[in-house]
C-alpha cells in the first residue's frame, strides 16, 4: 500500500484499542489493500475509539472508485446519486465504503443548501472537506498508521471541537454544521469553539435550509443517547426559542414529562432499543398541546383539537406527516385508558399503537398520581391471564 505523502502520516504514533474494531472491518481494509488501494477507517468511529467508546458503525475511506470496490466485493452495491458510495456486506454486517472526495472545480449549491462536492480526490483533499478536526482522523488498522493532518487527536485529548479551516467559511458552506457542532458539544461534553453570541448570529443562516433537513439533524440530538443533556444545552444557547418556542420558558424540572421522556429515550438507546421519532415528538409537544387554545374548547372533538394544533401551533421545524400521524394516534388513545370497560379494554389493547400509547401513559404517570392509578391497572392487565383479567375488570372503579 502506498502511504499518503504528508508529514501528518504517523506510524504507530498513538495507542488505539484495536479490540474495538470488529474483525469484519479488518477484512474489508485488508482486502482493499491487497489490491494495492489505500484504505482507512475514518471519522466518528475513530474519534469514539480514541475516547474508549464503542462505535455504533464504521466508515471506510479509500482511493478505490465505486466500480473498483464492487469488483472486489461480490456482496456489495453502489448507492447514492449525488455522490456514489458502496455498501459492503461482511459477516452479516453492512459497512459503508466511500471514495476519497475533494471540493469540485465548479461550486454549486443544491436545493437542500449543501455545497455540491461529488468529485473524487486524494486522502489529503478528503480530510480537508470534513467538518471538524476530530472527525478527520484516518486509521489503518493493518499497519497501525494514523493520518491526522489537522491534529484531531490533540483536540480530542484537549476535549476541543474545532472546525477545519475558517469556521465562518465552513458555516456558510453548510449551516447545518452549526447544529452538528452544538450536538457534539452536548454528546461529548467538549469545549465549543463558538460563543453564545456567535451562535445567535450564525443561526440565521439556517433560514435557507429546508425544514426537513433541520428536523433530521435535530432528531440526532435526541436519538443518540444524550437527549437529556441536549435539551439543557439547547436551552443554554437559547435555541429552544427557535426550534421549540413552547419550551422556551420550560423549567426542565426533572419530574416533568419532557425530562422524563428524555431520560427514558437515553436509557432505551443505551439498551440498544429502538426509539421512534414520533414518540419522542409526542413527548416534546404534549405540554404545548395541552396549553393550546383549542385544547380547552369543549365544542371541539379531540381529533379536531389535534388537527388545529398541528395547523396552528406546530414548532418551527418541519415534522414529517408520518410522524404527525404517529403522534396523533398516541394522543388520541390517552383518554381511552380511563375507560375500563370490557369491550373498550379489549379494543384498546388490540390497537396497533397500543404499546406506544401505553409507554406514553407510563411517562405521564410518573408525574401525575391520577394517571398512575390507570397506568398500574394496565400494567397488571398486560401480565395477567384471562382469569385474572376478569377479576381486574370486576374490581374496576365504577
Of 161, 310, 145, 292, residue with least CA distance to 233: 161
Query: What does the mean pLDDT of the chain come to?
Result: 89
Name the active-site residue from 48, 59, 148, 359: 59
Given a contact cutoff of 8 angstroms between Cβ atoms, the answer to whether 38 and 1 are in contact is yes
Helix 257-270 and helix 277-291: axis angle, to 10°? 180
CA distance 260 to 364: 9
CA distance 208 to 379: 47
Measured from the Cβ of residue 8, the count of other Cβ atoms closer than 10 Å reads: 18
Averaged pLDDT for residues 232-252: 90
Measured from the Cβ of residue 226, the count of other Cβ atoms closer than 10 Å reads: 22
Q: Which residues pair with 94 in a beta bridge?
A: 89
Averaged pLDDT for residues 365-386: 91
Measured from the Cβ of residue 391, the count of other Cβ atoms closer than 10 Å reads: 11
CA distance 37 to 18: 21
How sure is the predictor about 3, in pLDDT bands with cuts at 50, 70 and 90?
Answer: very low
CA distance 103 to 72: 27
CA distance 371 to 280: 19
Name the active-site residue from 48, 117, 126, 131: 131
How sure is the predictor about 1, in pLDDT bands with cuts at 50, 70 and 90?
Answer: very low
What pLDDT does residue 314 have?
57
Report the share of the chain in percent with pLDDT over 90.
69
How sure is the predictor about 7, in pLDDT bands with cuts at 50, 70 and 90?
Answer: very low
Report the share of the chain in percent with pLDDT over 70.
91
What pLDDT does residue 4 have?
47
Contacts of 310 by beta carbon, 8 Å cutoff, 6+ apart? 319, 324, 328
User: Per mean pLDDT, which of 5-19, 28-42, 74-88, 229-243 is the most reliable?
Assistant: 28-42
Strands 145-147 and 138-140: antiparallel
Per-residue pLDDT for 14 more than 90? Answer: no
CA distance 283 to 305: 17
Measured from the Cβ of residue 109, the count of other Cβ atoms closer than 10 Å reads: 12
- Catalytic residue flag (residue 126): no
Domains of the chain: 1-158 (3.30.460.10), 293-394 (1.10.3090.10)
What pLDDT does residue 190 have?
97
Which of 113-117, 153-157, 238-242 bottoms out in mean pLDDT, i.e. has the lowest?
A: 113-117
- Catalytic residue flag (residue 359): no
Report pLDDT digits (tens) over 321-359. Answer: 889 999 999 999 999 999 999 999 999 999 999 999 999
Contacts of 282 by beta carbon, 8 Å cutoff, 6+ apart? 326, 327, 330, 331, 356, 360
SS3 track for the chain: CCCCCCCCEEECCCCCCHHHCCHHHHHHHHHHHHCCCCEEEECHHHHHHHCCCCCCCCEEEECCCHHHHHHHCCCEEEECCCCCEEEEEECCEEEEEEECEECCCCCCECCCCCECCCEECCHHHHHHCCCEHHHCCEEECCCCEEECCCCHHHHHHCCEECECCCHHHHHHHCCHHHHHHHHHHHHHCCEECCCHHHHHHHHHHHHHCCHHHHHHHHHHHHCCCCHHHHHHHHHHCCCHHHHCHHHCCCCCCCCCHHHHHHHHHHHHHHCCCCCCHHHHHHHHHHHHHHHCCCCCCCCCCHHHHHHHHHHHCCCCCCCCHHHHHHHHHHHHHHHHHHCCCHHHHHHHHCCCCHHHHHHHHHHHHCCCHHHHHHHHHHHHHHHCCHHHHHHHHHCCCC
Given a contact cutoff of 8 angstroms between Cβ atoms, the answer to whether 100 and 61 are in contact is yes
CA angle centred on 268, ends 265 and 273, rounded to 5°: 130
pTM for the model stands at 0.86
Of 235, 237, 162, residue with least CA distance to 202: 237
Of 98, 112, 113, 87, residue with least CA distance to 65: 98
What pLDDT does residue 125 have?
95
Report pLDDT digits (tens) over 24-48. Answer: 999 999 999 999 999 999 999 999 9
CA distance 349 to 392: 15
CA distance 306 to 352: 19
- Catalytic residue flag (residue 48): no
Amino acid at each position: 500500500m502506498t502511504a499518503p505523502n504528508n508529514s501528518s502520516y504517523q506510524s504507530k504514533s498513538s495507542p488505539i484499542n484495536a479490540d474495538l474494531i470488529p474483525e469484519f472491518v479488518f477484512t474489508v481494509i485488508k482486502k482493499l489493500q491487497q489490491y494495492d488501494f489505500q484504505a482507512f477507517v475514518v471519522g466518528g468511529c475513530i474519534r469514539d475509539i480514541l475516547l474508549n467508546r464503542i462505535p455504533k458503525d464504521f466508515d471506510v475511506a479509500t482511493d478505490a472508485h465505486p466500480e473498483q470496490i464492487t469488483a472486489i466485493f461480490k456482496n456489495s452495491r453502489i448507492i447514492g446519486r449525488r455522490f456514489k458510495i458502496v455498501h459492503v456486506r461482511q459477516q452479516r454486517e453492512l459497512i459503508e465504503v466511500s471514495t476519497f472526495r475533494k471540493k469540485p472545480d465548479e461550486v454549486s449549491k443544491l436545493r437542500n443548501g449543501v455545497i455540491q462536492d461529488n468529485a473524487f480526490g486524494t486522502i489529503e483533499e478528503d480530510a480537508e472537506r470534513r467538518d471538524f478536526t476530530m472527525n478527520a482522523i484516518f486509521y489503518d488498522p493493518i499497519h497501525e498508521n494514523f493520518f491526522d493532518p489537522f491534529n484531531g487527536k490533540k483536540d480530542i485529548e484537549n476535549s476541543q471541537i474545532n472546525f477545519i479551516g475558517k469556521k465562518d467559511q465552513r458555516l456558510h458552506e453548510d449551516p447545518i454544521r452549526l447544529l452538528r457542532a452544538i450536538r457534539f458539544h452536548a454528546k461529548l461534553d467538549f469545549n465549543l469553539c463558538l460563543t453564545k453570541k456567535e451562535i445567535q448570529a450564525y443561526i440565521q443562516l439556517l433560514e435557507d435550509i429546508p425544514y426537513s433537513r433541520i428536523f433530521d439533524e435535530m432528531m440526532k440530538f435526541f436519538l443518540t443517547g444524550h437527549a437529556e443533556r441536549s435539551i439543557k444545552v439547547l436551552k443554554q444557547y437559547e435555541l429552544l426559542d427557535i426550534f421549540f418556542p413552547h419550551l422556551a420558558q420550560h423549567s426542565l424540572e426533572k419530574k416533568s414529562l419532557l425530562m422524563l421522556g428524555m431520560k427514558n429515550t437515553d436509557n432505551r438507546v443505551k439498551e440498544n432499543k429502538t426509539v421512534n421519532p414520533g414518540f419522542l415528538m409526542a413527548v416534546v409537544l404534549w405540554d404545548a398541546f395541552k396549553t393550546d387554545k383549542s385544547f380547552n374548547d369543549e365544542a371541539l372533538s379531540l381529533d379536531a383539537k389535534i388537527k388545529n394544533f398541528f395547523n396552528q401551533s406546530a414548532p418551527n421545524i418541519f415534522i414529517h406527516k408520518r410522524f404527525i400521524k404517529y403522534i396523533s394516534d398516541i394522543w388520541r388513545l390517552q383518554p381511552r385508558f380511563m375507560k375500563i370497560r370490557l369491550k373498550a379494554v379489549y379494543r384498546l389493547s388490540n390497537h396497533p399503537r397500543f404499546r406506544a400509547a401505553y409507554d406514553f401513559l407510563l411517562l405521564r404517570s410518573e408525574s401525575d398520581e391520577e394517571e398512575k392509578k390507570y397506568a398500574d391497572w394496565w400494567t397488571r392487565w398486560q401480565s395477567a391471564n384471562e382469569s385474572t383479567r376478569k377479576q381486574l375488570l370486576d374490581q374496576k372503579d365504577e
